[in-house]
């Protein structure tokens, strides 16, 4: 996957630290400058810096449960974007332990499973994300990627005796 496509996909996957107000406005930032800066760095493709800043924000402050869930989901997204799904998946697991309704964590873990070729698990997580946020375009984009892989031709070998 080329870098610009990967950065674009990560822009869709990284949840940031945000709240949606009753009037539909999204508020970015948590009051924890490290988590906010880490989220921004991840979104622009500076994964190592984003990971460093996010981990600092988790260690130096005592973020709320919602902020910790978002931070772990961001870390999951960054590690998946770096092509390290085995590091990413436990971080999404931690995010979901903190907030089982974090659709972005399901989506990010789905991407990590996708990278490992674990399409059934990826689809299950996408279904969970869809149940929480049925209109998330990120989920549908990833579902398309998984479906595309499922349509790739395969060679079938026969044993001859």
Residues 60-115 pLDDT 10s = 988 999 999 999 999 999 999 999 999 999 999 999 999 999 999 999 999 999 99
DSSP string, 82-147: TT-HHHHHHHHHHHHHH-TT-HHHHHHHHHHHHHTT-HHHHHHHHHHHHHH-TT-HHHHHHHHHHH
Residue at 54 is within a domain: yes
Nearest-angstrom CA–CA distance, 50 and 40: 7
Nearest-angstrom CA–CA distance, 67 and 136: 20
Mean of all residue pLDDT scores within the chain: 82
Residue at 156 is within a domain: no
**Res 109: pLDDT:** 97
Residue at 72 is within a domain: yes
Residue at 46 is within a domain: yes
Q: What is the CATH number of the domain that holds 87?
A: 1.25.40.10
Q: Which domain holds residue 70?
A: 3-146
Residue at 155 is within a domain: no
Residue at 161 is within a domain: no
Residue at 32 is within a domain: yes
Nearest-angstrom CA–CA distance, 23 and 25: 6
The residues with which 26 forms a beta bridge, in sequence order, are 20
Report the domain count for the chain: 1
């Amino acid at each position: 996957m080329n870098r610009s496509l990967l950065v674009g996909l990560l822009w869709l996957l990284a949840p940031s630290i945000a709240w949606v107000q009753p009037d539909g406005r999204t508020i970015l930032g948590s009051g924890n400058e490290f988590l906010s800066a880490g989220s921004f760095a991840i979104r622009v493709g500076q994964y190592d810096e984003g990971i460093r800043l996010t981990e600092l924000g988790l260690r130096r402050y005592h973020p709320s449960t919602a902020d910790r869930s978002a931070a772990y989901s961001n870390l999951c997204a960054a590690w998946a974007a770096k092509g390290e799904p085995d590091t990413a998946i436990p971080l999404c697991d931690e995010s979901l332990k903190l907030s089982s309704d974090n659709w972005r964590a399901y989506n990010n873990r789905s991407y990590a499973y996708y990278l490992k070729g674990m399409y059934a698990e990826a689809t299950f997580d996408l279904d969970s994300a869809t149940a929480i946020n049925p209109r998330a375009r990120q989920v549908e984009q990833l579902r398309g990627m998984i479906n595309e892989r499922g349509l790739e031709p395969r060679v079938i070998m026969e044993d001859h005796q």
